[in-house]
Structure 1
Amino acid sequence: MVDGVRMRDGRWLAVAERGDPDGTPVVLLHGTPGCRRGTVPEAILTARPGVRFISYDRPGYGDSDRRPGRRVADAARDVARLADALQLDRFAVLGHSGGAPHALACAALLPARVRRVAALGCTAPPNTAGLSWFEGMALSKVEDFTRALTDPLDFADRLAARAAAIRSDPAQLLVSVRDGLTDSDRRIISDPAISDMLLRDYRESLRTSAYGWLDDDLALLSSWGFDPAVITRPVLLWHGALDTFSPVGHFKWLADRIPRARPVLDPDAGHFGALRALPAVLDWLCATPESRAS
């Protein structure tokens, strides 16, 4: 097991491995903000003894060095380097929320190595024809993203201040997003195991700076560096119909354009409903050819 990988450009990428070292490899891509210790609750990890879970801090988060100006597509290069270091031939990828577009980048740009991809609560690329990007989005998210687009320096300063406050009290982030959550989302994040995971995740992700958070948002709002329509690998798109962080129009846009998409829309779920969907999603990701045929 390794605790990090040196990238070809000299950056350090912090890595965590859990589960069976000889099991089916699944690369986990955390949300925004997030870190290598989040994404999947511990109870779900331990319930899958035949899976090797591999996660890492995206650049600028936790212990990973920053990469200013990174694009969503750059995640595929980092994942490929990580897979080389761990001697992985083929693997599955799972991304939730801000990690979901980065998972699609792996599907698009690493077709020879990626078996399957699950993208949960995924936004669509910006400036796409046929989609009103902000429609149905929580007002707080619209304000943040608009500020990032119109005044990125002010946005960076505000994120730095928020990150400093969250470092001293991570619960502030959960409180600040509650207005954009459904009742089901509020019940999910009120679960002690889930809230503890999220609080540890937020604290660790922002421990050194807000750069990962800033660079994630700017990457999601800029050209991704690939077209989802070129994806040839099987992709499970899971989405909550009541999600106001990534409105359902984004899901429909992606489902229409990814050739081998398997769309799953939960009519009663919001953004954090993805955590409840994880067991079934992991079953699909790790299915063998025999089990898929049965």
Structure 2
Amino acid sequence: MRDAGSRDSDAPLAVFWHHGTPGLGLPPRPLLALADELGLRLIGHDRPGYGLSDRLGGRHIGHVAADVADIADALGITRYAVMGYSGGGPHALACAAADPRVVAVIVGSGLAPRDADGLDWYDGMIASGRHVLTAAERGEQERRSAEEDGYDPEFNERDLAALDGEWGWLGDIAGAFTPDDLDGAIDDDLAYVRDWDVDLDAIAAPTLLIHGTADGIVPLGHGRWVAERIGAEIWEREGDGHVAPVQALPDALRWLRDQVPD
């Protein structure tokens, strides 16, 4: 577990952060001061195969719900919110679907299920994304081989501007990623293209999605599909790519606090 945000463990509300792919579980540094102000305790964890967590081969998206529920139990948390960015989005949704203690959900630039009815899942996705994920559909060995081909995220100007500012924190996290964490990233990709084992219809908590209209890593259609399926609010950010929507997370935390009064 990686604990941050409010230094007071008795803060009114815990928020579990779900990192992207690749990533590590440290909650976002740009949100820490605001979390203190709002009385939020930000908690993150390394998914299996990353950082301090052992690998869990063959895991599904739904597996994360039990991990987070166990952490909540260990900390005596009786209600909590979840927030996920990019590949962390599906994992946040999984927690909301499985644990009635989840009282609010934020997803930024998140994926829809591979079998999403009526969604052309790869439509609008950059070449590198198509390459690694179609390789994942062919199995673990093919996905590992695709790693040798490199990855171009094709960030647009808005993404690069965000990374040049305080959200350069994401670059710091990427820099902390080591070859030992590769299993986590590969298992994430394998999980995205298989059955999630998540009942989206079970999500009852207020949910906010944030998505850039120019996202080529996870195209906007993914966010729109999830929003329609579960009746979530969606903030579409004109011209934003995959990274720039994180700049809306401070407003999203304020939205979350409004949804969950003390």
Please report how far the alpha carbon of residue 147 of structure 1 lies from its aligned counterpart in structure 2 after TM superposition.
Answer: 1.4
Shift, 1:62, TM fit: 0.7
Shift of 1:210: 0.6
Residue from 206, 225, 230 that aligns with 2:178: 206
Check the 8 A contact 1:31/1:98 in 2, yes or no. yes
User: Structure 1 length normalisation: TM-score?
Assistant: 0.82
Q: 1:267 aligns with which of 232, 238, 246?
A: 238
Give a deviation string over 1:180-218, Cα, whole Å, max 9, x none: x22211211123x433x2233123343523110011111
How far apart, CA to CA, are the structure 2 residues paired with 1:286 and 1:91? 11
Separation of aligned partners in 2, 1:36 and 1:127: 27
The answer to whether residue 167 in structure 2 is matched with residue 194 in structure 1 is yes
Which of 184, 188, 191 matches 2:158?
Answer: 184
C-alpha distance in 2, partners of 1:289/1:224?
28
Contiguous gaps of at least 5 residues in structure 2: none
Q: Distance in 1 between matches of 2:30 and 2:92?
A: 23
Give the corresponding residue for 1:15: 2
1:103–1:290 CA distance, 2 compared to 1 (3 A): closer
Say how many residue pairs are matched: 258
Q: TM-score by structure 2 length?
A: 0.91
Partner of 1:169: none
Q: Percent identity?
A: 35
Q: Structure 2: which amino acid aligns with 1:95? A: G
Q: Separation in 2 of the partners of 1:135 and 1:59?
A: 29
Please, which moves more after superposition, 90-99 or 243-252? 243-252
Q: Provide the residue aligned with 1:118 in structure 2.
A: 106
Looking at structure 2, the residues matched to 82 and 151 of structure 1 have their Cα atoms a distance apart, in angstroms, of 31
Task: Report what 1:242 is aligned to.
Answer: 214
Aligned position for 2:94: 105
2:52 aligned to which of 44, 63, 85: 63
Q: How does 1:124-143 map to 2 (within 5 A)?
A: 124-143=112-131
Q: Is the CA contact 2:17–2:83 (under 8 Å) kept in the aligned structure 1? A: yes
CA distance in 2, matches of 1:44, 1:209: 25
- Where does residue 85 of structure 1 map in the other structure? 74
How far off its partner does 1:248 sit? 1.0
Amino acid at match of 2:173: D
Q: Deviations over 1:21-80 (max 9, x none)?
A: 222211101100000125x2x242123312211001001001111111110001110000
- Counterparts of 1:239 and 1:89, CA distance in 2: 30
- Asked if structure 2 preserves the Cα contact closer than 8 Å seen for 1:25 and 1:53, the reply is yes
Task: Work out the CA distance in 2 between the residues paired with 1:228 and 1:281.
Answer: 21
- Aligned: 1:147 with 2:119: no
Cα distance, 1:86–1:182 mapped onto 2, change above 3 Å: same
- Distance (Å, rounded) in 2 between the aligned partners of 1:104 and 1:237: 11
SS for the counterpart of 1:211 is helix
> How far, CA to CA, are the matches of 1:145 and 1:290 in structure 2?
40
Q: Which runs of 4+ in 1 moved over 6 A?
A: none
Q: 2:25 aligns with which of 15, 36, 42?
A: 36
CA contact (8 A) 2:139 2:190 kept: no
What CA RMSD, in Å, does the superposition of the two structures yield over aligned residues? 2.0
Aligned to 1:286: 257
Q: CA deviation at 1:149?
A: 1.3
Measure how far apart 1:140 and its partner are: 1.0
User: What is the distance in 2 between the residues matched to 1:288 and 1:247?
Assistant: 27
Flag the 1:288–1:137 CA change in 2: closer, same or farther, 3 A: closer
- For residues 94 and 46 of structure 2, the distance between their equivalents in structure 1, rounded to whole angstroms, comes to 16
Q: Is the 8 A contact 1:60 1:67 kept in 2?
A: yes
Q: Aligned pair in 2 of structure 1 residues 117, 226: CA closer, same or farther (>3 Å)?
A: same
Deviation at 1:265, TM superposition (A): 1.2
Q: Mark the runs of 5 or more structure 1 residues left unpaired by the alignment.
A: 1-13, 163-171
